[in-house]
Homo-oligomer: A and B are copies of this chain.
Amino acid sequence: MGNGRQQHEEITAYLRSAISSHEFAPGDPLPSESELCQRFESSRGPVRQAMATLRSEGLISSGRGRRTIVLDTVPTQSFDGVISYSEWCRQSGFEAGQITQSVTRRPADPTLAAALEIEPRAPVVSIFRLRLLNGIPAMVERLNYPLEVGQHLLTFDTDSGSIYQHLIDSGVDINNATRTIDAIGADPDDAQLLGITEGAPLLRVRRRAFTSNGTPVESSDDRYLPGTASFTLNTIRGNPSPLSMVSAR
């Protein structure tokens, strides 16, 4: 031990890579817990912790008496890849690009103030960018930050790269995020930037990000061209999913 990495993380990493390289193919059984215990000179705890992680990602299926088997391989993403468009492109092997339309400091309207849990008309920093995938328009991004967070961006060249990375480097604590996914017709700005007709279908992802003590640090609205991005989710029975479908009515 003492390699700076917890045992259960090591086991998780080993199993994940072995699964994604099809060393353990879909339908195959995984090594039993006791085998893994021996191989990693560990007790059952860390092994079961690793299994639990993979199960919650939908990679494996297990049950009393049954061998644990590999399900159809599904890509899984890190938190960073899920919150940052730049990081997602990098992980997927694409080149991210951005053309900033505006960086604004303004008072929050009531809806935004509620989303950021700040006083109405409290100052916020808003960023409006067209984002590219391998040089082609792919997404329209509207980001809003409370001034305390957004001040780090007023002097940042928003055409140069990842805002998320810059905020992390500036010491902003981003711990968790809630995303809401729906479909919406393009508004005039969207249509012009993406080169489509007004009302054409877009995949909208609204995101709220929070610090570890629950303070909102971001409220954003991303609109993807269909065909550019889609979301895939794996759910296993008995494992309640973090995704919920909500009616707007």
In A193-249, the 8 Å CB interface with B consists of 199-204, 208, 210, 212-214, 224, 226-249
- Residue count of chain A within 8 Å CB distance of chain B: 76
Please tell me if the beta carbons of B229 and A74 are within 8 angstroms of each other in the complex: no
Check if A103 is an interface residue, CB within 8 A of chain B: no
User: Which residue of B27, B69, B201, B237 contacts A79 across the interface (Cβ within 8 Å)?
Assistant: B237
Please tell me if the beta carbons of B241 and A77 are within 8 angstroms of each other in the complex: yes
Name the B residues within 8 Å of A94 (CB-CB): 247, 249
* Complex Cα gap A217–B179 (Å): 29
Please tell me if the beta carbons of A235 and B82 are within 8 angstroms of each other in the complex: yes
Which of the segments A58-66, A146-154, A155-163 contacts the partner chain?
A: A58-66
Check if A111 is an interface residue, CB within 8 A of chain B: no
A116 CB to nearest B CB, Å: 12
Check if A33 is an interface residue, CB within 8 A of chain B: no
User: Which residue of B63, B177, B180, B214 contacts A26 across the interface (Cβ within 8 Å)?
Assistant: B214
Please tell me if the beta carbons of A237 and B61 are within 8 angstroms of each other in the complex: no
In A63-102, the 8 Å CB interface with B consists of 63, 66, 69-72, 74-79, 81-83, 88, 92, 94
Check if A175 is an interface residue, CB within 8 A of chain B: yes
Please tell me if the beta carbons of B201 and A184 are within 8 angstroms of each other in the complex: yes
Check if A53 is an interface residue, CB within 8 A of chain B: yes
Q: Residue on B with the closest CB to A53?
A: B240
Please tell me if the beta carbons of A237 and B175 are within 8 angstroms of each other in the complex: yes
Check if A182 is an interface residue, CB within 8 A of chain B: yes
Check if A34 is an interface residue, CB within 8 A of chain B: no
Please tell me if the beta carbons of A245 and B226 are within 8 angstroms of each other in the complex: no
Check if A176 is an interface residue, CB within 8 A of chain B: yes
Name the B residues within 8 Å of A66 (CB-CB): 212
* Complex Cα gap A219–B102 (Å): 43
Name the B residues within 8 Å of A18 (CB-CB): none
Please tell me if the beta carbons of A57 and B203 are within 8 angstroms of each other in the complex: no
**Can you list 25 A-B contacts with CB-CB less than 8 angstroms, sorted by A residue number?**
A27-B214, A57-B240, A61-B212, A72-B208, A74-B242, A75-B244, A77-B245, A79-B236, A94-B249, A134-B249, A174-B237, A177-B234, A178-B233, A178-B235, A179-B233, A180-B233, A182-B203, A182-B229, A182-B230, A182-B231, A183-B203, A184-B226, A200-B201, A229-B246, A231-B244
State the 6 A-B residue pairs at the shortest beta-carbon distance, nearest first.
A201-B201, A182-B230, A183-B203, A183-B183, A176-B236, A181-B231
